[in-house]
Amino acid sequence: DTAVSQTPKYLVTQMGNDKSIKCEQNLGHDTMYWYKQDSKKFLKIMFSYNNKELIINETVPNRFSPKSPDKAHLNLHINSLELGDSAVYFCASSQLRGNSPLHFGNGTRLTVT
Amino acid sequence: GIQVEQSPPDLILQEGANSTLRCNFSDSVNNLQWFHQNPWGQLINLFYIPSGTKQNGRLSATTVATERYSLLYISSSQTTDSGVYFCAVSSYLQGGSEKLVFGKGTKLTVNP
């Protein structure tokens, strides 16, 4: 009965590879997010989708491409991985304009070697 | 954009002690939340509190929006309270509540 689930939990890959992280929420929320947490624990928003529509796109390299097939799913695809992409990526969801708390998944630790 | 400052950056307590964590922000906000990141990396939402006071067990939070700060109180701390506490806000100026900006966190260590 996990509310926000993301897979995989760990991802180790080499520079130049392409990888995807999947996220699903069963809270009935209409908005989903991707956050990046760097080695200093700083959390920064990357993308947000509301009902499958992109509403936030921070200054993220275009090697990162989110895809939302429906409002319960938000995936993140990363092309041509670089060493600097190593971080923990968190998926989250909330109900937009509903005074709704943000709920996070457990994170995906990406290590690029 | 809106700035969020948390203090102290690090805090070490003995089990049973009380503590207060502070979050200052630079603009009017329409959304303020507190999160706990446990030592396993999980981010848990503690409070949604753009204004007023809320309590949940040993934890309580107060936001004084007019003075642009929020406080998180932890009473009778336990070792399981260890981790990093984040404050996150979004501003009316950003046009919505969907873009939370996080502070750098307060790392709390509770020793037995």
Residue B54's pLDDT band, with cuts at 50, 70 and 90, is very high
pLDDT at residue A100 greater than cutoff 90: no
Query: Using an 8 Å Cβ cutoff, are A106 and B41 in contact?
Result: yes
- Chain B residues with CB under 8 Å of A96 CB are 96-98
CA distance A103 to chain B (A): 7
Show the tokens assigned to B67: 């003075």
Q: Mutate one of A9, A43, A45 to test the B interface: name it (highest B CB count within 10 A).
A: A43
Residue B41's pLDDT band, with cuts at 50, 70 and 90, is very high
Peptide bond just before B8 cis, omega within 30 deg: yes
- Chain B residues with CB under 8 Å of A88 CB are 41
DSSP letter for each residue of A6-42 = EE-SEEEE-TT--EEEEEEE-S--SEEEEEEE-TT--
Q: Mutate one of B6, B51, B97 to test the A interface: name it (highest A CB count within 10 A).
A: B97
CA distance A36 to chain B (A): 11
pLDDT at residue B86 greater than cutoff 80: yes
